[in-house]
Amino acid sequence: MSLTVLPSATGAVDDAEAILGRQAARESAARTYARSLPIVPVRARGMTVEGADGRRYLDCLSGAGTLALGHNHPVVLQAVRGLLDSGAPLHILDLATPVKDAFTTELFASLPEEFARDARIQFCGPAGTDAVEAALKLVRTATGRGGLLAFTGGYHGMTAGALAAGGDVDARAGLGGTAREPVRLPYPYDYRCPFGVGGPQGARIAARWTASLLDDPKGGVEPAAGMIVEAVQGEGGVIPAPDEWLREMRRISSAHGVPLIVDEVQTGVGRTGAFWAVQHSGIVPDVMVVSKAVGGSLPLAAIVYRGELDVWEPGAHAGTFRGNQLAMAAGGATLRFVREEGLAERAAQLGERMLTRLRALRCLLPVMGDVRGRGLMIGVEIVDPQADPDPLGARPAAPALAAAIREEALRRGLIIELGGRRSAVLRLLPPLTMTDEEAETVLDRLGEAIHAASAAGRPGEAARPAAVARPAAARPAVAAPREGASRRDIPRQDTPR
């Protein structure tokens, strides 16, 4: 394969394979995306990423949900350039600046009004996990309690407290109990209902279990400092919480005087079809954790919380990197653009259309066990169609097949990632600026990839389902076609599950 040669930073000539080879030799064994996506991006615009080998990819990972406006959006670039040219300081600890003031004003304007009215903000170290740590410290300080209520399947980051709050025991294995274990409560998961019931009834039982556990004086649960929850679990497998269940969590936590922390790190800034995911249910949290898209592609994280909780001492949560001016400029511009252009509404509509088409595809491709999501946070759970279903009809997860689909998607010029309990959920997190045509191309490529990977595992099943096949002339000669072609051969009629 011939590769485009690029000048490296040192002036030497490198190619993509050499760069990948040096990465493998030099970088940590803990590297993640770099393993499943062996490409060397050199340019990116919107949802298109161009690799050093000249191939183009449609990026449905978006920096793990960070790039609400896609790569290098003009309003983001303008905000960054404007700050660079202005002579303003780039690093200034947590001092007040006009840039920070404008960012905070824009952020507060985006929050539910009742919450914003009396809110405080604490800027944290630059990652989502730093803000989660701050949230835990805040509620522990304010309540004088130590315990935490957290949910099955939750993900809140990789530092000690955030890791403990998450549901992934593998991620904590071997760390010797670095942080206090939370009380684990059931998160509704319709497809694999922990109570074997599913639907609204499954969610009602999950809420009832939480209520009874906290009400029971001999239930073994100490009064907690906080309850931490995602309105849509991302890493847990793209699982939207029913609005009614979330309202119940609000009611129960209030009844017990437990501050409710909603982790909006991944769901915020229009991603789920509302500016903030809490707005679907109408609940008002006590603490909101924000990061990813709020920095407009650059690192920024904060907690926003009710003024009443603001009882920690000066310096209680210090940190050198709490004043990232470039991120505040980029983030402020992003928040404004999402608001002015109605991109949350756009995400709701486009997401619904994509879900409809994916559900139709599911009827043709039985490896697609479940299709779910909210807005432009979409998941497809891949299962083994040969295995026996459970009483609710769900078949066992098929992580190896999901990984093969990710690989086939990459070959077709589509970047997706996996998530979920057993890494068997294909996750789509495209930018909110994705065009209709791009959305169609994403679904075409995804359908092709799912079909190719599932047929590859079964000799004799080379025939493509008619609805997935497209006319030979429209099929790309190379694995990763240039963007732009619109193919509309996957049916778009909704078909009930």
Ligand X SMILES: Cc1ncc(COP(=O)(O)O)c(C=O)c1O
Residues that bind ligand X (CB under 6 A): 64, 127-129, 132, 155-157, 230, 234-235, 263, 265-266, 291
Q: Toward ligand X, which CB reaches closer, 57 or 155?
A: 155
Q: Toward ligand X, which CB reaches closer, 234 or 242?
A: 234
Q: What is the dihedral of CA 180, 181, 182, 184, to 10 degrees?
A: 180
User: Shortest approach of ligand X to residue 99 CB, angstroms?
Assistant: 21
Tokens standing for residue 489: 């051969």
User: Shortest approach of ligand X to residue 236 CB, angstroms?
Assistant: 9
CA distance 47 to 58: 5
User: Shortest approach of ligand X to residue 325 CB, angstroms?
Assistant: 19
User: Shortest approach of ligand X to residue 136 CB, angstroms?
Assistant: 12
Contacts of 54 (CB under 8 A, 6+ apart): 3, 4
User: Shortest approach of ligand X to residue 482 CB, angstroms?
Assistant: 31
User: Shortest approach of ligand X to residue 270 CB, angstroms?
Assistant: 16
**What are 215-221's contacts with CB under 8 Å, separation 24+?**
221/147, 221/149, 221/183
CA distance 346 to 340: 12
- Nearest 5°: the CA angle 127, 131, 135 is 165
User: Shortest approach of ligand X to residue 299 CB, angstroms?
Assistant: 8
CA distance 285 to 262: 6
User: Shortest approach of ligand X to residue 301 CB, angstroms?
Assistant: 7
Longest dimension (CA), the chain: 69
Q: What is the dihedral of CA 449, 438, 490, 408, to 10 degrees?
A: 0
Residue nearest to ligand X (CB): 128
The one-character DSSP state at 193 is -
Q: Toward ligand X, which CB reaches closer, 230 or 438?
A: 230
Contacts of 262 (CB under 8 A, 6+ apart): 228, 229, 230, 231, 277, 278, 283, 285, 287, 288, 289
CA distance 193 to 191: 6
